[in-house]
Amino acid sequence: MKLAAVLVLTLSVALGNAVATGRSVVTVDANPASPAVTVVTADRELLENPGFETGRLPPWTASAWIVDTKYPHGGTYCASVVGNHWIRQFIDTVPAAEIQSITFWSRQPDQPAAQAFDFFYSDGSYEEFVHFPQPDWQQFDVTYRLNRSKSLVGLGIWGYSGGGPGPDSTFLDDVSIQVRDPRRAVGIVSILSPRDTISFDTTNTPRVQVRNFGETSDSLLVVVMVEDICDPNPYYWDTVGLFMPAGSTASPEFEPWRPRWPALHRVSSWIVLEGNANHDTVRQFFWVRPGVGVAEQESGTARAQATIVRGLFNLQSATCNLQSTIVLLDAAGRAVMRLRPGANDVRHLAPGVYYVRCGRVTTRLLVLR
Ligand SMILES: [Ca+2]
């Protein structure tokens, strides 16, 4: 069986950061230009023991053919015969129109030689054709000989008699009848929520739009994850299972979540589908802005407090863990400057309310002239 995963992901994100002037500018393109579509196609082999690697003939049936280790094309074994005898395998009935390919490898060292092969159909008929193998292994693609208006139930291949002076030997290996399963293609078209900006003190219900672009119904899992981009540990994720008819669109909702602190966040969503090991992901940035209650936020490690500052702000280790990245946010939640432990010059800032964000702790700061 051949498995191929074709993956398409286009996402445009521009993230510029200029701190030299004391103001951070972050430009976010929140809308992915095209969906992440996961395509899984698979050709399925209808024959059993197609290369004779069980070391035995069944489920092939044959007249005089044996399994041989002398000249295998692939693996350890092939099938061989001396004389004009048949080997056949019958399969579950399959419309010939759905067959992707019928191929086999054959060689007949004693030249000149010919080889007949038969297609057996569900209406009881069969059609026989002849071709001419060479002394060395050669692959024959006989797909074009199929009668596409019928349904196939079996394949037969023959040896020969009356060639050159040597024994009338035929060797056969790696026979294959492949059908293509319906194309499976599902994609996250967009992340509907959260996007752009949400308020710190509101509850958000993540929603994504998913479409089945494929040719068959499909079952899949959709995952949504939310993270603060400065924090390596995502703090929310949820999974929804979907059954989607071909061509359908769905907008599943996920468990509601509440932001823990104001910051630039990222929401990611991907599809878990059998045959898709890569989990192609759509990502989208959004802002969590300080809400009304941000000044009163408390955490287990530090208590929110209002600090009045003139000119210099002395960042104390009691305020937060100085190993963390510490950022000063303005009232709208924009990062204004990065703070260092000790004295920070904030004389260039306009008077007003600011917030010091350190890891998961946000502290209110009042800057006066
Ligand atoms: Ca073999």
Is residue 136 located within the same domain as residue 196?
Answer: no
Phi-psi domain of 108 (left: phi exceeds 0; alpha: psi -120 through 50; beta: other)? beta
Q: Which of 126, 146, 180 is the last residue of a domain?
A: 180
Does pTM top 0.85 for this prediction?
Answer: no
CA of 68 to the centre of ligand 1 (A): 9
Q: What is the CATH number of the domain that holds 346?
A: 2.60.40
Q: What is the CATH number of the domain that holds 152?
A: 2.60.120.260
CA of 169 to the centre of ligand 1 (A): 17
CA of 71 to the centre of ligand 1 (A): 9
Q: Domain tally for the chain?
A: 3
Is residue 148 located within the same domain as residue 207?
Answer: no
CA of 42 to the centre of ligand 1 (A): 22
105 lies in some domain = yes
Boundaries of domain holding 265? 183-289
Per-residue tokens: 114? 């010919």
CA of 266 to the centre of ligand 1 (A): 52
Is residue 156 located within the same domain as residue 194?
Answer: no
Q: What is the CATH number of the domain that holds 262?
A: 2.60.40.10
Q: Give me the tens of pLDDT residue by residue for the chain, a chain 369 residues long.
A: 222 222 222 222 222 222 222 222 222 333 444 566 777 666 789 999 999 999 999 999 999 999 999 899 999 999 999 999 999 999 999 999 989 999 999 999 988 889 999 999 999 999 999 999 999 999 999 999 999 999 999 999 999 998 778 899 999 999 999 998 777 888 899 999 998 889 887 899 999 999 998 888 888 888 999 988 877 777 788 998 888 888 999 999 999 998 878 888 899 998 887 665 556 788 889 988 876 444 334 333 333 344 666 677 777 654 455 556 777 877 777 788 887 777 788 888 887 777 777 666 666 676 665
Is residue 112 located within the same domain as residue 189?
Answer: no
With 0-12 / 13-18 / 19 or more C-beta atoms within 10 angstroms meaning exposed / middle / buried, residue 20 is exposed
Q: CA 353, CA 355: separation in Å to the nearest integer?
A: 7
Residue type, 82: V
Q: Which of 124, 159, 180 is the last residue of a domain?
A: 180
Is residue 81 located within the same domain as residue 196?
Answer: no
29 lies in some domain = no
CA of 13 to the centre of ligand 1 (A): 51
Report the pLDDT value the prediction gives residue 84, as an integer from 0 to 100. 95
CA of 174 to the centre of ligand 1 (A): 6
Is residue 163 located within the same domain as residue 191?
Answer: no
Q: CA angle, 18 as apex, 17 and 19 as ends, to 5°?
A: 115
Nearest C-alpha neighbor of 201 from the set 296, 69, 135, 318? 296
Cβ atoms of 309 and 39 closer than 8 Å = no
Long-range contacts of 66-74 (CB under 8 A, 24+ apart): 68/171, 71/107, 71/171, 72/173, 73/105, 73/107, 73/137, 73/171, 73/173, 73/174, 74/105, 74/173, 74/174
CA of 6 to the centre of ligand 1 (A): 30
Residue type, 113: A
CA of 102 to the centre of ligand 1 (A): 16
